[in-house]
Chains A and B, each alone.
Chain A
Amino acid sequence: AQSVTQLDSHVSVSEGTPVLLRCNYSSSYSPSLFWYVQHPNKGLQLLLKYTSAATLVKGINGFEAEFKKSETSFHLTKPSAHMSDAAEYFCVVSDRNNDMRFGAGTRLTVKP
């Protein structure tokens, strides 16, 4: 089955500095990949998705991610962090049958 590894359980950045959240995936098929965000005590919101079109994907709130097949990676970036970006972020892989598997999550802290 497909799987996802989020390489950092916690990332801390200062407001206005770049954000990098790392995700590696494993899949036997051409996968679809997603990033979701979860603010405290809230549900999950889709940030962006890759479904075999352009490898650089732009999402909401200034986030983007690049699909690199050779590295089996799908890292999430943002040029300048905002306080409101503090949340938990999940990388998700899906291949056949829409079977969606989550990574363990990365908690992003943004310092003033």
Chain B
Amino acid sequence: EVQLVESGGGLVQPGGSLRLSCTASGFSFSTTWMHWVRQVPGKGLVWVSRIRNDGSNAIYADSVKGRFTISRDNAKNTLYLQMNSLRAEDTAVYYCTRDNYYSPDYWGQGTLVTVSS
């Protein structure tokens, strides 16, 4: 069974940093591209970042470029999102998703990030 479990969310002050993790199981993580997608509670889905299976070619939404870094450790079956210089508008639930045919087929339960003083 495919499982994606996010962790690392919480309350952080504006300008602060946070690292999200996503632990994957039930599939071949090292051969799969992965994404981060976020959602302000009650609002729509917004794509954040994608990374290829070998850790190359990371791409980002303009809104987070230069502040967020996606990475992965295939030996640990874990995806990361390092978030720096956080802003109030980064407040959202962050989902880790698996890519299949350029499409997110499995989603984690999400982790809430709140940026507030």
Same complex origin of A and B: no
**B interface residues, Cβ below 8 angstroms from A:** none
**A interface residues, Cβ below 8 angstroms from B:** none
